[in-house]
Amino acid sequence: MGWKNVNAIIENKLYIGNILSARSSRSLTERRITHILSVCPDPIPAELPESGLTHRRIPVEDVDYADLLTHLPAACQYIEESMRAGGTVLVHCVQGLSRSATVIAAYCTGNCSPRSIRTSSLSYQLANKYGRIPASKNS
């Protein structure tokens, strides 16, 4: 059921998901995904390159001390170049909540108009995980 764990951030252009969605040919085919950005150390299947998909992996662990910040420029550049070339991008981590959402938020902050972003997707995922949308560690 990994194919259901994908949400559009920019319809037909940018999606967020978990590792199951990245491994699901159904999920990738239905959304016409051409590029995958994996923000986790876990590999996706070896047959992926043969499928015509372009894949980049940022091997960041899901731990408090992981330095995702240093990887954000390259991640955002990959998303931008992929979409500019007419591609459709899936950004995922293991659960599809923390690292992938951080990368997408960084990308959207610098590259998206407010009208193009489906904020309900990110809000829903965060609210679903935490019961509310966390504003900061101090709230």
Domains of the chain: 2-130 (3.90.190.10)
Helix (H) or strand (E) run with residue 107 in it: helix 99-111
Q: Which pLDDT value is given to residue 118?
A: 54
Question: Are 29 and 37 a contacting pair, CB within 8 Å?
Answer: no
φ/ψ (deg, to 5) at 112 = -120, 145
pLDDT tens-digit map of 11-51: 899 999 998 888 888 889 899 999 999 999 877 765 565 67
Say whether 38 sits in a helix, a strand or coil.
strand
**Is pLDDT at 54 greater than 60 in this prediction?**
yes
Q: 93 an active-site residue?
A: yes
pLDDT tens-digit map of 56-107: 999 998 888 888 888 889 999 999 999 999 999 999 998 888 899 999 988 8
pLDDT tens-digit map of 108-138: 887 765 555 555 555 555 555 555 444 444 4
Kindly report the length of the chain.
139
Per annotation, catalytic residue among 40, 93, 108, 112: 93
Q: Which pLDDT value is given to residue 86?
A: 96
Output the CA angle 120-55-13, nearest 5 degrees.
35
Tokens (6 digits) for 82: 């992929």
Rounded CA separation 139/137 (Å) = 6
φ/ψ (deg, to 5) at 70 = -70, -20
Q: Which pLDDT value is given to residue 88?
A: 97
Rounded CA separation 33/136 (Å) = 33
